Amino acid sequence: MKLRNTLSTLAMLSVVFLSSCTNDTTENSASTIAAVANSKSSSSPLSSVNETYNVQPKVGSLNPVNLGIAGDFAILSKTGITDVYKSSITGDIGSSPITGAAILVKCNEVVGTIYTVDAAGPLPCSVTNATKLTVAIGDMQTAYTDAAGRTNPDFLNLGAGNIGGKTLTPGLYKWTTALNIPTDITISGSSTDVFIFQVAGTLKLSSAVRMTLTGGAQAKNIFWVVSDAVTCGTTSHFEGNILGMTGINLQTEATINGRMMAQTAVTLQMNSVTKPQ
């Protein structure tokens, strides 16, 4: 009888003990879940997604180069614009600080305004506006400094300085030597993609060679920043804005959809120049 009472008592104690353990476990689990939930709710949505799927935040696209007032011009130079008649220029042109006499383009070659620092420019169409030209030249130089100073290129010395036949995608490119383009190239990207090409030497586009835009890429978002002379061979076609530390030379019947901004002179020979919209 005593043995039976003892066993009954032990059975009751076991039930109480197991019940207590179950409650503690449930409470601890609930506390853990609540803590995790609070931690997640205090995190940003992006952080939560990244923790769960290990997804890195998307890096923003390359910022375009701000041309300032210089962007109003199709051709802008510091030491003049020479010309072999007849060229066709769509957009404003100007030169400063050199006298307007150094602009040798005729009035009927320009659909736009010819700005000069004095009254010596092409007559009767030139407009004297030294102040606008001074600001534009300053903006041109600032744009060059910005473009040339971009760091961490996506492509370094692509093609060892020869990119003939290549398709170029958006990004920052850098060449520590001259750049030659002996055969056609394609520049491919969307309408908002930006391309910056840094060239530490000369840039030469061979005769009859063409640059072609695909995928919606726009010339206004393409920037060639060149520390030495730029030459486009006869009947070649160029796309984008040229920011040149020295001269920009278009040989006979070469064309450009873009801007030419030279810290020395621009040379034309029966060319077509169209400022991009």
> Chain-wide mean pLDDT for the chain?
85
- Does 104 have pLDDT greater than 50? yes
Q: Tell whether 92 and 144 lie within a shared domain.
A: yes
- 12 and 101: one domain? no
The pLDDT value recorded for residue 7 is: 37
Q: Are residues 45 and 75 in the same domain?
A: no
**Using one digit for the tens of pLDDT, what is the confidence trace for 233-270?**
999 999 999 999 999 999 999 999 999 999 999 999 99
Q: Which residue, chain included where needed, has tokens 């394609």?
A: 186
Residues 236 and 126 in one domain: yes
* pLDDT recorded at residue 61: 75
Percent of the chain whose predicted confidence (pLDDT) is above 90? 78
Same domain, 116 and 187: yes
Q: Is residue 62 part of a domain?
A: no
On whether both 41 and 157 belong to a single domain, the answer is no
Q: How many structural domains is the chain composed of?
A: 2
Phi, psi (deg, nearest 5) at residue 147:
-65, -40
Q: Hey, what amino acid is at 84?
A: V
Q: What is the mean pLDDT of residues 67-85?
A: 98
- Residues 129, 16, single domain; the answer is no
Residues 41 and 106 in one domain: no
Report pLDDT for 77: 98
Provide the pLDDT for residue 22: 41
Would you say residue 140 has pLDDT above 80? yes
Alpha-carbon distance values, 251 to 41, 44, 92, 104 (Å): 65, 57, 21, 16
Q: Look up the domain containing 14 and give its range.
A: 2-53
Rounded to 5 degrees, what angle do the CA atoms 248, 264, 109 make? 60
Residue 63 lies in a domain: no
Same domain (yes/no): 258, 234: yes
| 16 and 135 share one domain | no
In this predicted model, what pLDDT tens digit does every residue of 179-236 receive, in sequence order?
Answer: 999 999 999 999 999 999 999 999 999 999 999 999 999 999 999 999 999 999 999 9
Is residue 205 in a domain? yes
Residue 58 maps to a domain: no
For residue 46, is pLDDT > 90?
A: no
Q: Are both 100 and 28 inside the same structural domain?
A: no
Q: What is the DSSP string of 91-154?
A: SEEEE-SS-GGGB---GGGEES-EEESSTTSSTTT-EE-HHHHHHHHHHHHHHHHHHHT--S-S
Domain assignment present for residue 222? The answer is yes
pLDDT band at residue 49 using 50, 70 and 90 as cut-offs:
very low
Q: Please check whether residues 110 and 231 belong to one and the same domain.
A: yes
pLDDT at 115 over 60: yes
